A and B are shown apart, each in its own frame.
Chain A
Amino acid sequence: MLRYVIGRLLTAIPTLFLIITISFFLIRIAPGGPFDLERPLEAKVMENLNKIYHLDEPLWMQYVLYLKNVAVLDFGPSFYLRDFSINELFAQSLPISIQLGTSALALALVVGGFMGVMAALRQNGPGDYSIMAAATLGVTIPNFVVAPVLTLILGVWLGWLPVGGWGGGAFVNKILPVVTLALPQIAVVARLTRGSMIEALRSNHVRTARAYGLSAYLVIVVHALRGAILPVVSYLGPAAAALLTGSVVVESIFGIPGIGRYFVQGALNRDYTLVMGTVVVVACFVIVFNLVVDLLYALLDPRVRYD
């Protein structure tokens, strides 16, 4: 098992290297540079800025330099938010995004899983249909609609919750963003759980468990759900990576200082280091969570072993 994990982590290195290389050169193709403003800079000032940020060196040199820095986990200074380094920006924002993402994920898993099981147990009944209708709605309404509507109703009209801001991580400030992030995930988890649960309920080992006269709880949770949760787990891997690295929309609308917005901000402002930093972070999350999913599989599915 440990060997497997180490092996996987080692293969991640060339993957990351490829991702860094491709995005490093891709972002440089975009016209304009980090210091292009509507008011153009004096040639000399531009020259100095380029020198300060090593942009005056040949591209391959910059690339080597960047690789060297990334190897020691130094993502360099931000070109746009000039008072901060990328590491400082991430140190502030990543924990916030992870907090929000984990909460949303947990909410989605519990609520979505519960809804899915309930729907499967009442297959083709009114309960099933209403849950699935709600789930379809959850998937189809985009978060840039859900978020303003929620803030309008619960924040502006009723005045129960703050409309925006992080408030130093206060619980009330987290409710709406977490719900907004979780809604589409709840829907997906519910649908996936329902589908695989229906299948599981008809499978031989569940029928056998029933025949033994085991309690409904044991049959459903221990025997059926364990198999039924597998597709959900494989879905949640990439979903978790996406959720934990923040959402541009949710962060902009709720004014949350997470990491999600940096990707877009960095790209639009040609903040090369910021874009590269976010790419690396997102890539790491994807790699790690895919590994976690595979390990969870081994835990849940007796047929999978990594020895």
Chain B
Amino acid sequence: MFKSLRVGALAAALMAATSLTAVAEVVLHRDNGGEPETLDPHKTSVTTENNILKDMYEGLIGLSADGKLIPGMAESWTISDDGTVYTFNLRDAKWSNGDPVVAGDFEYSLRRIMDPATGAKYATVLYPIKNAEKVNKSELPKEELGVKAIDDKTLEITLESPTPYFLGLLQHQTGLPVHPATVEEHGTDFVRPENVVTNGAFIITEFVPNSHVTVVRNENYYGNDDVQIDKVVFHNIEDRGAAVRRFEAGEFHIVDEVPTEQMAHVKSTMADQLLVAPYLGTYYYALNHESEKLKDPGVRQALSMAIDREFLADEIFAGTMSVAYSIVPPGIDNYGEPAYAEYKGQSMIDREDEARELLEAAGYNESNPLKLELRYNTNENHKNAAIAIADMWKPLGVEVSMLNTDVKTHYAHLRDQGDFDVARAGWIGDYSDPQNFLFLVESDNTGFNYARYNNPEYDALMDKAAATLDLEKRADIMKQAEVLFMRDLPFIPILHYSSKKLVSDKISGYEPNLRDEHQSRWITVSE
């Protein structure tokens, strides 16, 4: 009995020793910032899913480490002269089960996301594809979608109208393919680790809800030789303080988002591992254009002018946000410099004086204050920002009352045309193009135009930009639209988002980029 135990122990020790001497497995521990709701690339809607999906799947267009569009499953492509027909030539690539990736897979996948029966939350991103909207609304059968596999290696996508940012849309997580045979066989259960077949650098082995997702090297991936990491564990935790502590203890290599309240601590102890970079998003206050109190353009300008954005960025958000004087974030593709507010660069004192005059002209002062209700979704940072802004407005004769609700209630209220004066909101771009910010306040955009801004001139400019092929001319037209935006202020742009990461010094190949997307295939881990 004892002998056999000893032998067993010896064997176990030997096995452990040999597996250690074999090439050590390279594991990357990524904090994912939250729980993925689904790992079905056609039901996906949030970044916590994007991080994982982009490791598992590869679309026609890929993204380099520094955030540039690069060939993915498509090796090359041509665009017709009128900008509406894209022809993609696929590379020799395989699914994780060894099947070749063919054009038909993309035809199947794009039809699937538009099929109303799929219940895709983010299908709208791909609406520029011909008939996409009609298919998604059940007005046409999915076979009518403007996507055609000419042969196994050639895919043709026809658009409704020229869309200069279309390649960027295909790079979005909704453009990822699924393996048709697996979906047909398992239905919605095709996402299960035991069923799923993927074409990206990694394949999933484990999905524990409220804990983690594990993916491992996909030997069939065409770029497998250049991938250093064998296994990635995505830790789906929401508690930001815990994430920082786990990073400090060496359990995580990357923290997805450093919370504002930890910035001072992080800066003093781990400054060399902190990466703060511009991110494609704007934090704004929507002004209700149907509210009598905000009808006067002077009043709206005064409110915007009096906000000390530098103070908010540095003090309230501890340097994790940057000031915004335009709705479109600087550095975006296909644009150039955004149309900044005139008072950018002006001193705060002058701006306050000017704002006071404007409000005075509208009949408001400290004895006859303008009473506004400010709504925000419950969050410590939003609260602090709201208090600071109310304080900045107060000396001008603006009296703010605040109302906070949970995030679902907040956005449901704005969307259902509920009554409000001023409301906090934020927008993170889905693709790097000014259209993705300026379209928010088109008059027919009932979902996002919280301000109920209705300016035919603005709409006309946006329509004209959509029909313009020449990128420079198009940028000019959109800039004219942004000038109108900054004049009428449906939203007051306050801050631009930044990504704020902790990246261990064991990590290389992690480059900050505007899309804040970092596929594990580019990352290397050293011991």
- Is B one of A's binding partners? yes
Residues of A whose CB lies within 8 Å of any CB of B are: 30-33, 35-45, 47-49, 52, 80-84, 89, 92-93, 148, 151-152, 155-156, 159, 162-166, 251-258, 261-262, 265, 268-270
For A40, give its contact among B118, B192, B447 (CB under 8 Å): B447
- Does any Cβ of A come within 8 Å of B509's Cβ? no
Contact check, A252 vs B406: say whether CB atoms are below 8 A apart. Answer: no
Chain B nearest Cβ from A160, distance in angstroms: 10
Contact check, A82 vs B37: say whether CB atoms are below 8 A apart. Answer: yes
Which B residues are in CB contact (< 8 Å) with A37? 45, 121, 411
Contact check, A81 vs B37: say whether CB atoms are below 8 A apart. Answer: yes
Task: Tell whether A42 pairs with B119 under 8 Å between CB atoms, given A159-B249, A164-B237.
Answer: no
How far, in whole Å, are A10 and B208 apart by their CA atoms in the complex? 36
Task: Tell whether A81 pairs with B249 under 8 Å between CB atoms, given A32-B412, A37-B121, A92-B209.
Answer: no
How far, in whole Å, are A221 and B176 apart by their CA atoms in the complex? 67
Which A residues are in CB contact (< 8 Å) with B415? 36, 40
Chain B nearest Cβ from A34, distance in angstroms: 9
User: Of B60-68, B75-83, B239-247, B487-495, which binds chain A?
Assistant: B239-247
Contact check, B251 vs A162: say whether CB atoms are below 8 A apart. Answer: yes
Chain A nearest Cβ from B488, distance in angstroms: 23
Tally of A-B residue pairs with Cβ under 8 A?
A: 142
Task: Tell whether A255 pairs with B242 under 8 Å between CB atoms, given A35-B121, A39-B124, A81-B38.
Answer: yes
Which A residues are in CB contact (< 8 Å) with B137? 42-44
Chain A nearest Cβ from B286, distance in angstroms: 12
Of B133, B208, B406, B408, the most chain A CB neighbours within 10 A belong to: B408
Contact check, A45 vs B119: say whether CB atoms are below 8 A apart. Answer: yes
- Does any Cβ of A come within 8 Å of B383's Cβ? no
Which A residues are in CB contact (< 8 Å) with B188? 83
Contact check, A39 vs B122: say whether CB atoms are below 8 A apart. Answer: yes
For A38, give its contact among B191, B212, B411, B413 (CB under 8 Å): B411
Report the count of interface residues on B (CB-CB < 8 A).
53
For B239, give its contact among A49, A93, A166, A253 (CB under 8 Å): A253
Which B residues are in CB contact (< 8 Å) with A269? 408
Which A residues are in CB contact (< 8 Å) with B124? 39, 42
Contact check, B408 vs A270: say whether CB atoms are below 8 A apart. Answer: yes
How far, in whole Å, are A253 and B45 apart by their CA atoms in the complex? 26
Contact check, A39 vs B45: say whether CB atoms are below 8 A apart. Answer: yes
Task: Tell whether A257 pairs with B119 under 8 Å between CB atoms, given A36-B411, A83-B38, A164-B242.
Answer: no
20 A-B contact pairs sorted by A residue (CB < 8 Å): A31-B412, A32-B409, A32-B412, A39-B124, A44-B116, A45-B120, A48-B118, A48-B119, A52-B119, A82-B37, A82-B40, A83-B40, A83-B192, A92-B208, A148-B245, A155-B245, A165-B212, A166-B208, A252-B237, A262-B210
Write the B232-276 contact mask toward A (1 if CB under 8 angstroms, else 0): 000101110110011011110000000000000000000000000
CB-based nearest A residue for B119: A49
User: Which secondary structure dominates where chain A touches chain B?
Assistant: loop
Contact check, B138 vs A44: say whether CB atoms are below 8 A apart. Answer: yes
Contact check, B242 vs A254: say whether CB atoms are below 8 A apart. Answer: yes
- Contacts A36-B412, A42-B133 aside, 10 further interface pairs with beta carbons under 8 A come to A31-B409, A33-B412, A36-B411, A42-B136, A81-B37, A148-B242, A162-B249, A252-B237, A253-B241, A256-B211
Contact check, A155 vs B45: say whether CB atoms are below 8 A apart. Answer: no
CB-based nearest A residue for B46: A37
CB-based nearest B residue for A258: B210
Which A residues are in CB contact (< 8 Å) with B442? none
Which B residues are in CB contact (< 8 Å) with A156? 245, 248-249
Contact check, B121 vs A41: say whether CB atoms are below 8 A apart. Answer: yes
Contact check, A166 vs B38: say whether CB atoms are below 8 A apart. Answer: no
